Each structure stands twice: as structure tokens, then as C-alpha cells.
Amino acid sequence: MEKKLQRIHRPALVAAILGPIQVVVGFNLAQALWPEFDPVAKTISDLAADDSPVQALMTSFFYFGGTLSFLVAGWARSFSMPGRVTLALAGLATYGLAFFTTPDQDSSSLAHRIFAIISFVLSAGWPLAAMRFDKRYPWILRPTGAIIGTTLLTASALIFLASWADPASTMTGVWERVIAVSQTWYLALVIWICWFSERKLRSKS
């Protein structure tokens, strides 16, 4: 008996709409309200630091982003279970980095760094964990698509982490924003490709 095809449910589609919007609006709005802030060198986490005048705003966007990860984990059922668990853990890590804030603009918190690294790693590696071998699923979830997606996301994450670890780097903020946006938009892309593919299959049946 052929195994039932899993599908994308509406809450995951909502997350796919809101995710790409909130990640861009979040840090840009916070930066706009703090004109002295340097987004080229400073990280998004610095906008949520204890000495930041926009801490509450940026922290709320972190929690919102983590919540959207939980929605996808619960309702993007086209993804295999390991991938959904990976996304849920990424959401939990986002909660962790929001809770364990950076003390100020010139220091860091070990707990914050640990949760941030976990979040970036899981957000880069979920396509491989979500991979499907069943040919009824779209190409982006099958091995070639999953490997390509994971490779691209991992490469950009490693560039950011290398910049973040280098005290002399002056582009850390730029690289973080690139990876944050690319991870969120890639997840949304996969969700929408799966949804359209499932609609096409249903129309044929």
C-alpha cells in the first residue's frame, strides 16, 4: 500500500508569508529608531542588548521569529520528521538567544553566543534533515535539492561565524543580516514550492 503523501498546512503558509517580512522589518525598524547604531559592524543581537534603547522591540521580533519556526515545525508536514524537529529546535534556540541577552555593545554573553550559534547551525542544516526520497515530493525536498540548499546555507553561515569570531572584522553586521535573511527566505521558498506542487498533484487526481 502506497504511503500517504504529507502536505503543507495553512499555519505553515502563514509563517512563510510573515517570516521573510518580519526578519527584514525587525532589524531595519530597530536600526531606524536608533540612528547612532552601526549596522555594518554591529550584529542584530546588539540591537537587543541590555544597553540598547530598542531592546524591547528587537527582542519581540526574536520571539516572533522563533514562534514562526514552531509553526513551520508543526504544520509543514511535507518535511520529514527529522527536519521538523530540527526547525523546532532552531525556534527554541532563538528563544534562548532572545532570553540570554548581550550585556552591552562592548561585551558578550556566553549563553547568548551558544544559543545564537545553535540557531544558525540548525537553520542552515534543516533541509538535509527534512529530505524526502519519495518522488512524489518536489525536487527541492529530494536529495539533490536538499544537499544544494544545505550547502549554500551552511557556506553563508560559516562566513558569518568566521567574521563574528574575528575581533578585527568590520563587516560582521552585514554578514549576519545576509544569513538571517537568506535562511528565512529559503525556508519560505521551500514551503511555497511544496504547496504549489501539492496543489498540482491534487488537481490531477
**Per-residue pLDDT tens over the stretch 143-179:** 999 999 999 999 988 888 888 888 888 899 999 999 9
On whether residue 4 sits in a domain, the answer given is no
- Position 201 scores a pLDDT of 83
Residue 178 belongs to domain spanning: 10-204
- Position 42 scores a pLDDT of 94
Is the confidence at residue 75, as pLDDT, over 90?
A: yes
What cell was used for 105?
555593545
pLDDT mean over 87-97: 98
Count of the separate structural domains present in the chain: 1
On whether residue 19 sits in a domain, the answer given is yes
- Position 31 scores a pLDDT of 97
DSSP of 83-128, one letter per residue? Answer: HHHHHHHHHHHHHHHHHS---STT---HHHHHHHHHHHHHHHHHHH
Q: For residues 40 and 61, give the distance between their C-alpha atoms in angstroms, rounded to a whole number.
A: 20
More reliable by pLDDT, 203 or 39: 39
pLDDT mean over 68-73: 98
Least confident range from 102-106, 185-189, 201-205: namely 201-205
On whether residue 1 sits in a domain, the answer given is no
More reliable by pLDDT, 169 or 62: 62
Is the confidence at residue 113, as pLDDT, over 60?
A: yes
pLDDT mean over 112-128: 95
pTM of the model: 0.94
Contact predicate 27/39, CB 8 Å: yes
What's the mean per-residue pLDDT of the chain?
Answer: 94
On whether residue 5 sits in a domain, the answer given is no
What cell was used for 50?
541590555
Contact predicate 31/47, CB 8 Å: yes
Q: Enumerate the H helices of the chain as residue ranges.
A: 10-32, 44-47, 55-75, 81-99, 110-129, 143-165, 172-204
On whether residue 2 sits in a domain, the answer given is no
- Tell me how far CA of residue 197 lies from CA of 6, 32, 107, 120, 139, in angstroms: 12, 39, 47, 28, 10
Is the confidence at residue 112, as pLDDT, over 60?
A: yes
